[in-house]
Amino acid sequence: MYMNKIAQILKKSVFRTLAAIVLGLFVAGIILAVAGYPPLRSMLALGKGIFSSPKYVSNVLIKSTPIIFTGLSVAFAFKTGLFNIGVEGQFIVGCLASTLVGITLDLPPVIQVPLVLLAGLVAGAAYGGMIGVLKAKFGIHEVISGIMLNWIALYLSNYICILEPFRKGDSNGTYQVSEASKTLILGAWKNTDDGRNFLKGIPILGEAFLKTDVNIGFLAAVIMAILLAVLLKKTTKGFELRAVGYNKYSAEAVGIDIKKNIIDVMLISGAVAGLGAALYITGNTPHKITVLSAFEGMGINGLPVALIAGSSPVGCILSGLLFGGLMYGGQALQYEVGAPTEIINIVIGIIVFFVAIMKGVPRLLLKIPRRGGKHVK
Amino acid sequence: MKMKRVVAFGLALTMGISLIGCGGKKKAEETSDKNGKDFSVAMITDTAGVNDQSFNQSAWEGLQEFGEDTGAKVNYLESKQSSDYVTNLERLGDNNSDFIWAIGFDTADALLEVAKENQEFKYAIIDNAYEETPSNVTGVIFKAQEPSFLVGYVAGKTTKTNKVGFVGGIENAVIQQFMFGYQAGVAFAGKEMGKEIKIDVQYAESFADAAKGKAIASKMYSEGCDIVYQAAGGSGTGVIEAAKEAGKFAIGVDRDQAYLAPKNVLTSALKKVGTAIQNVSEKVMNGEEVGGKTLVFGLTEDCVGIPEKNPNMDSKVYEDTMKIKDMIKSGVITPPGTETDYAQFLKSIK
Amino acid sequence: MIEPSKEYVVQMHGITKRFGSFCALNEMNLDVKSGTIHSLLGENGAGKSTLMNVLYGLYQADEGEIFLKGEKVEVKNPSDAIKLGIGMVHQHFMLLEKFTVVQNIILGDECISHLGMVDMKKARKDVMEIANKYGLHIDPDAKISDITVGMQQKVEILKALYRGAELLILDEPTAVLTPQEIQELIKIMKNLIDSGKAIIIITHKLKEIKAASDICTIVCRGKYIDTVDVKSTTESELAALMVGHDVNLVVDKSPAEPKETILEIENLVVENEKKMDAVKGLSLNVRKGEIVGIAGIDGNGQKELMDALSGFIKAKSGTIKINGKEIQNTTPRNIIDSGISIIPEDRHKRGLVLEFGVFENAVLNKYRKMPYSKKGILNQKAMEQFTNELIQECDVRPAGCTYDHAGNLSGGNQQKLIIGREVSNNPELLIAVQPTRGLDVGAIESVHKTLVRERDKGKAILLISFELDEVMNLSDTIAVIYDGKIQDTFLQGTVDENTLGLLMAGGRNHVHE
């Protein structure tokens, strides 16, 4: 009976995911304990690192924004049957394009900001679309071309960002984008004495705004998630995309153009990643790109975000926040307890693992009692 | 030459006055009116992380040593992405660290921004010199050309094929210091022995591409180089690997990298980030005002050099090198760090 | 229940098997006497295959006992079953295409020479010995990919015999065979019985039970119904036992009144995936108000013909015209828009999106049209309303499944959903491929009725089926396809099964010559 009840609860994917998260933290606690760090204090430190100051909460939102975007990009492609591992490359070219436009142009913000964002979006879309075309026209698997294009993006970005006239002095990075390109909220004003004094006067919000890169990115991510959810659920285009994703043969039989849809999906998926990249550049210090020695992982981190979210766009916001919170709070874990930040990667890995195996758990729970109830606690 | 000597001497003198050498540690503690236990120092790494087997690790080791010696509280935060720099620096501020280090020139912009926002904290940065240094920031840079000169001299003395190599990460002013110092050292040794030694210079275009570093070095070895010096971060480990496979010598950088290939690392050009960190942290702890300027560390401060133990090096060569070291310290030789200085240097030894 | 005794090769008593809350087998009994062909009859999903899988060790029974020659045994897995002398030939053959016949037969039970190598010579000799003994004529060195389905089945039977099977289970053995091949199979089965083996065949074809088996056990909804002597029971009686009510096996319809031609196929040539001509100059007409059935064995170009008709692949040459308009090289969407609806052969692959709700599947071919969507925005209400009507009209069960996943429906209800959807598009030409595959008698009846009703409404209907009975009963005109061409066409009632069977197998049509 008891088991059945749990099984019923776990059939809901939301509860399954929650259970996976709790289990992930629990196992992480055990690992911490084994490694010689006090688990309870560690978890407290983690919590403290996320919630103990409005500034921290604000930072979690900021940190989560780009991975929500890449998570959305992956989830959207996944919903339609494509594994967009090329999201890393799309993010990189998005960063590159928006930075270049942001450096080169200096128009009034009303024009400049949309232009810079559009540059990232178009670059990401084109880069994603390339994967779609390769798949649709030549049958090249999107994972293969995606990984290849990721490397091309990395080296392309490294090459361009130290080219004249973008390179700043002797650094291995570009100049910052122009002030007008930035998508910070109250960006310039809060650095003036007036702004600083005014914000200091407001208890919680003040701290959340001061000393953080509060930007429009998170808001945009939420809007994007809703847009994608509506696109998938409420439009004929989304209907087609989902049909192709679930069963391309049936979709073909009812007259849906599969190849066109593959390209469309990758265009949209890339555009989402590219827009996220542009918002990342315009909303976060250092507002520029540098030579990367390895992938930063903004795109790759989108994969677990989408996985934990079960590919639901709105779910991506929550799992992106979880992921961002863990990454940001993990710093405190290291600072307070001295545990290596790698433990956070382990936690995330374990959560993804549990999300994956949790699907089988309800069935397992229903099976155990018959096999011999006494073995079950 | 004479002029240069004077300048170098003057520089050394100022350093000697403005800095208390690393040896003066104990004394500093005694004279400190501020107890080390009330003092806390923290650092943020750049994206290479704290176990990078390079300057982040050296920095943290130095900081830990500082903590042990003085009883000060030390801690660090690791940065995973360049957007972490600001938030990590902010977090250290929240934890009321008295003195905050940012490691690597990558962190420069972020530190500048945070320092502006938080006038109440003191900051320092390794490997960066600002054009205008804020009053609460200290820049710390190293004369990379000095140890590079020494290892170049060692290479010149040791080479049998009369051909040596240099593998850089990405071509920029910092790496050029390594390259020109090295070339000058090789040339100096060649002059001493009356022979011409060729130098093959190549760049890996990355600080993290071990495979590329290995490929370049392998080619150098097969083309007759028997010693290759690398200043290429992660790419450099590939160079050492190539030396191991070819049975030739590589020269390590930043840290004593002999442990990577005990039989194939001739020596290493040390950049004692840890020593510099201890040095500066101690000043700050003692209430000395170091903000608003850039400190330059070199052989004089014992913040660069080569390891004391070099099992693969001829002891005669080591002795000669130590003499060179003293000559640099005393200003007799000024290793060049830029192209113009290098050209001048070549002229001067002709 | 019969007491365990030596006379019986297999006795399964009180077998119960549950899957979750679903009871697939409820106290099933089966007693198979040595030296008999025992058939297991039941509708789709009645539990025949489940029972045999329990016997073969693929499933474990929750309750019940199994006796072999009077001794209680436990079969934990197929290798136990093989050791106990039980062999099973599955509906879908488990053969390696690239291997030869002998290699396939000895796979997993190779005789090893003292050098550790496979002794192919001995293996070949052993296999041929068994083959000759039971009259299973095979080419031992042919590759599986080069031989016919009937041959492959013989290989499967040999595989079981090679492993020393005393009891053979044949799961739907005739589904893929021509009438001639079926005759041969029956002969082989008789040979096996004569040398002391026992056979259980799973089938829902009454005619074959009558022709081949001695004793028949009838299963209905996981329950044991009866065991009867086949010779003294008529087909209708068997059918009645199977479904629980009398079934009308003959399709009830009036003579066709064909009008103008809708579909014209002329000299159509279509390549298969291997770039070889599979449809080789096929011509066929379908008129309003008639059902044209294409009889033939799988693999004679039906698939490629359908792919071309659906617009999935382009025709190499020739034309397909609908109402005089050429459509052979257009897109699937254009074909649908020109008034063709297709009930695909594979429901899961081509017919439905299983992860979609029933309501989404119901509008799969019309979501772009008003009122289901407007300017690219879906209208959930209209979709729901339409689905509710369709569910009611086509008797899709369970009622109120509008928002269930299509994958949760049973096969018959999925088919009803597809047919309802396609018919509701009001097409001029309705093409049905294997529309009753895997359905039980009740569902078959309903599908047939729908097709006849649409014909009576004046639609043109093209039926492609591998079930000769179905084509013969349902079609007004019967066309026989062989090797990518229509061999001959007949009006219903002017041709008998043997003639068709001969044509389907590539024989000459003596009647017309």
Instruction: Indicate which CATH number applies to the domain containing B77.
Output: 3.40.50.2300
CATH class of C248-339+427-513: alpha beta
The answer to whether A286 contacts B85, with C-beta atoms less than 8 Å apart, is yes
C451 in Cβ contact with C443 (< 8 Å): no
Percent of chain A surpassing pLDDT 70 = 94
Q: What is the DSSP string of C375-431?
A: TTEE-HHHHHHHHHHHHHHTT-SSTT-TTSBGGGS-HHHHHHHHHHHHHHT--SEEE
The answer on B172 and B316 residing in a single domain is yes
**CATH architecture assigned to A63-315:** Orthogonal Bundle (1.10)
The answer on B289 and B177 residing in a single domain is no
Q: Cα–Cα distance between A295 and C362 in angstroms, integer? A: 46
* Residue B344 lies inside a defined structural domain of this protein: no
- What is the complex's ipTM, to 2 decimals? 0.80
| Domain interval for residue B101 | 2-143+272-301
Burial pattern C394-406, b for ≥16 Cβ within 10 A else e, equals bebeeeebbeebb
Q: Cα–Cα distance between B255 and B233 in angstroms, integer? A: 11
Nearest to A146 by CA among A89, A81, A188, A68: A89
| Tokens matching residue A197 | 């004094």
The answer on B26 and B158 residing in a single domain is no
The answer to whether A331 contacts B105, with C-beta atoms less than 8 Å apart, is no
Number of CB atoms found within 10 A of residue C139's CB:
12
Q: What are phi and psi of A37, to 5 degrees?
A: -110, 140
C430 in Cβ contact with C422 (< 8 Å): yes
CA distances C397 to B110, C23, C410, C416, C453, Å, are 65, 19, 8, 9, 21
CA distances C31 to C6, C36, C41, C221, Å, are 11, 11, 14, 19
Number of CB atoms found within 10 A of residue A114's CB:
12
CA distances A136 to A4, A265, B63, B141, C101, Å, are 45, 11, 56, 54, 39
Q: Cα–Cα distance between C182 and C200 in angstroms, integer? A: 16
pLDDT surpasses 60 at B21: no
The answer to whether C355 contacts A246, with C-beta atoms less than 8 Å apart, is yes
Q: Alpha-carbon dihedral of residues C108, C109, C110, C112, nearest 10 degrees? A: 120
The answer to whether A257 contacts C368, with C-beta atoms less than 8 Å apart, is no
- Within 370-389 of C, beta carbons closer than 8 Å to A belong to 373, 376-378, 380
Collect all residues of chain A within an 8 Å Cβ-Cβ radius of residue B237. Answer: none
Across B112-215, the runs of DSSP E, i.e. the strands, are 122-126, 137-142, 163-168, 198-203
B127 in Cβ contact with B105 (< 8 Å): yes
Which amino acid is it at C140? P
* Residue B350 lies inside a defined structural domain of this protein: no
| Greatest Cα pair distance in chain C | 76
Probe site for chain A from B80, B119, B175, B178 (most A CB atoms < 10 A): B80
Q: What is the mean pLDDT of chain B?
A: 86
pLDDT surpasses 50 at B49: yes
The answer to whether C378 contacts A237, with C-beta atoms less than 8 Å apart, is no
C511 vs B61, residue with greater confidence: B61
**Domain boundaries in chain A?**
63-315
Q: Cα–Cα distance between C394 and C420 in angstroms, integer? A: 6
Nearest to C321 by CA among C387, C406, C261, C401: C261
**Domain boundaries in chain C?**
8-243, 248-339+427-513, 351-425
Lowest mean pLDDT among A133-137, B67-71, B202-206, C146-150: C146-150
Does the fold of domain C248-339+427-513 match that of domain C8-243?
yes
- Series of mean pLDDT values for 10-residue runs along chain A (377 residues): 71 80 87 88 90 90 96 94 95 96 93 96 97 94 95 93 82 86 81 76 77 89 96 93 91 91 95 97 89 86 91 92 90 84 82 79 63 40
Collect all residues of chain A within an 8 Å Cβ-Cβ radius of residue B106. Answer: 172-173, 290
In this prediction, residue B35 has a pLDDT band, given cuts at 50, 70 and 90, of low
Q: Cα–Cα distance between A59 and C474 in angstroms, integer? A: 71
CB pairs < 8 Å spanning A and C: 72
CA-only gyration radius of chain A, Å? 22
C331 Cα to chain A: minimum distance (Å): 7
Reduced DSSP (H G I as helix, E B as strand, rest coil) percent helix, strand, coil of chain B, to 5? 50, 20, 30
| Tokens matching residue C34 | 């040595």
In this prediction, residue B181 has a pLDDT band, given cuts at 50, 70 and 90, of very high
Q: Cα–Cα distance between B335 and B318 in angstroms, integer? A: 18
The answer on B114 and B203 residing in a single domain is no
Q: How deeply is C26 buried, as exposed, middle or buried, from its count of CB atoms within 10 A (0-12, 13-18, 19+)? A: middle
* Residue B345 lies inside a defined structural domain of this protein: no
Tokens 């407007």 found at: C374
| Tokens matching residue C412 | 């018959």
Q: Cα–Cα distance between B136 and C481 in angstroms, integer? A: 91
C49 in Cβ contact with C202 (< 8 Å): yes
| Tokens matching residue C358 | 């029933």
Helices (H), C399-513: 411-424, 441-456, 468-474, 497-504
| Tokens matching residue B34 | 């501020």
- Within 328-347 of A, beta carbons closer than 8 Å to B belong to 328, 331-332, 334-335, 341
Nearest to B208 by CA among B106, B310, B124: B106
CATH class of C8-243: alpha beta
**For chain C, which ranges sit under pLDDT 70?**
1, 20-22, 43-45, 175-176, 204, 243-250, 507-513
The answer on B155 and B111 residing in a single domain is no
Beta-carbon contacts of residue C413 (< 8 Å; ≥ 6 apart)? C396, C397, C401
Give the tens place of pLDDT for each residue, A17-39. 888 888 888 888 898 889 888 98
Asked if B100 reaches chain A (Cβ–Cβ under 8 Å), the answer is: no
The answer on B179 and B319 residing in a single domain is yes
The answer on B179 and B76 residing in a single domain is no
**Which pLDDT score, from 0 to 100, does residue B22 have?**
40
CA distances C245 to A255, B62, B289, C210, C441, Å, are 41, 91, 103, 19, 11
The answer on B309 and B297 residing in a single domain is no
Give the tens place of pLDDT for each residue, B184-200. 999 999 999 999 999 99
Q: Which long-range contacts (CB under 8 A, 24 or more apart) does C161-165 make?
A: C161/C87, C161/C130, C161/C134, C161/C192, C162/C105, C162/C106, C162/C109, C162/C126, C162/C127, C162/C130, C163/C82, C163/C87, C163/C109, C164/C82, C164/C85, C165/C82, C165/C85, C165/C86, C165/C87, C165/C197
Beta-carbon contacts of residue C266 (< 8 Å; ≥ 6 apart)? C283, C318, C319, C320, C321
Q: Which chain B residue lies closest to A210 (C-alpha atoms)?
A: B117
C289, HSE (Cβ side, Cα atoms, 13 Å): 8
The answer on B20 and B132 residing in a single domain is yes
| Greatest Cα pair distance in chain B | 60
Total number of domains in chain B: 2
C353 Cα to chain A: minimum distance (Å): 6
Tokens 């005990």 found at: B262
Across B96-255, the runs of DSSP E, i.e. the strands, are 99-103, 122-126, 137-142, 163-168, 198-203, 227-231, 249-254
C279 in Cβ contact with C270 (< 8 Å): yes
The answer to whether C333 contacts A252, with C-beta atoms less than 8 Å apart, is no
Counting CB pairs under 8 A, whether chains C and A reach 3 or more, is yes
CB pairs < 8 Å spanning A and B: 86
Asked if C336 reaches chain A (Cβ–Cβ under 8 Å), the answer is: yes
Beta-carbon contacts of residue C224 (< 8 Å; ≥ 6 apart)? C27, C28, C29, C30, C217
